[in-house]
Amino acid sequence: MSEPYAVLVDVSKCTGCRGCQVACKQWNDLSAGRSTQTGTYQNPKGLNPTTWNLVLFNEDFIEKDGEKQVRSFFRLHKCMHCTEPVCLDVCPSQAIYRDGETGAVVIDQEKCDGVGACVEACPWDIPQLDVMNRKSTKCNFCIERIRDNKKPACVNTCVGNALIFGKRSAIYAMAEERLEALKPKYPDASVYGTDKEAFFGGLTDVYVLPEKPHYYGLEMPSMAGA
Ligand code: SF4
Ligand code: SF4
Ligand code: SF4
């Protein structure tokens, strides 16, 4: 079996342009929904059955050079395609499968009967229940594009080079290289998702974070979704 793929989400390069959000809608033919301004750049408020990825925006105080500053933190939020996905383990209909060639974790819409066990189980609150159609929905890693030797649509559109697609070992190594490059300026920088013990065998989407994970709405999986 060939090595699966991965995506490096280099948050230090993300401009928050939301091109990835639009590209996902376009490629997957997901309808736009009416949303409400809630006092943040984030729109819509969260993932939903027709929004499979989202740029999360957070404003917070951070201590820099001995003083508190207000800063904006943003990152792409989507299914991380765990190597050992808990959503798959809990599905009573065996509707979720992990494709070994690509690394994609996919909900088979034919088999899904919308009981929502995956919604409850995912540590990052990724699957979204389409109540009307009784189906659970989420990012499918653009598995058909990958099989067609194309990058996922969100990665393909990222002009800031914040999303890099490649074979898993190369992406994991790249994440460590970026971490080393960021450390002198960002001493709290970290890589999120490559630790196989802590992250269900390792994530397909791994993040390089300039500041502590909580600024980006990320916790360790045991704490996420609590
Ligand atoms: S397209 Fe790239 S730079 Fe723009 S918000 Fe998405 S990840 Fe960030
Ligand atoms: S991030 Fe959540 S929905 Fe995606 S594979 Fe992991 S457990 Fe499943
Ligand atoms: S990989 Fe494809 S389905 Fe998943 S968020 Fe990106 S564009 Fe959407």
pLDDT of residue 21: 97
| Domain residue ranges of the chain, discontinuous segments joined by + | 86-137
* Beta carbons of 35 and 102 less than 8 angstroms apart: no
For a mutational test of ligand 1's pocket, the pick from 51, 158, 209, i.e. the residue with the most ligand atoms closer than 8 A to its C-beta, is 158
Over residues 188-220, the pLDDT tens digits come to 999 999 999 999 999 999 999 999 999 999 998
Give residue 174's pLDDT band: very low, low, confident or very high (50, 70, 90).
Answer: very high
The alpha carbon of 154 and the centre of ligand 2 are apart by a number of angstroms equal to 18
Which spans in the chain are helix H? 19-28, 86-90, 117-121, 143-147, 153-157, 168-182
Over residues 72-108, the pLDDT tens digits come to 999 999 999 999 999 999 999 999 999 999 999 999 9
The alpha carbon of 85 and the centre of ligand 2 are apart by a number of angstroms equal to 6
Pairing of strands 205-209, 5-10: parallel
State the ligand closest to the CA atom of 97. Answer: 2
> Which residues are bridge partners to 54 per DSSP?
77
Q: Whose CA is nearest to atom 2 of ligand 1?
A: 158
Q: What is the CATH number of domain 86-137?
A: 3.30.70.20
Q: In the predicted model, is pLDDT for residue 224 greater than 80? A: no
pLDDT of residue 226: 45
Q: Using CB atoms within 10 Å of the CB of residue 190, give its burial: 0 to 12 exposed, 13 to 18 middle, 19+ buried.
A: middle
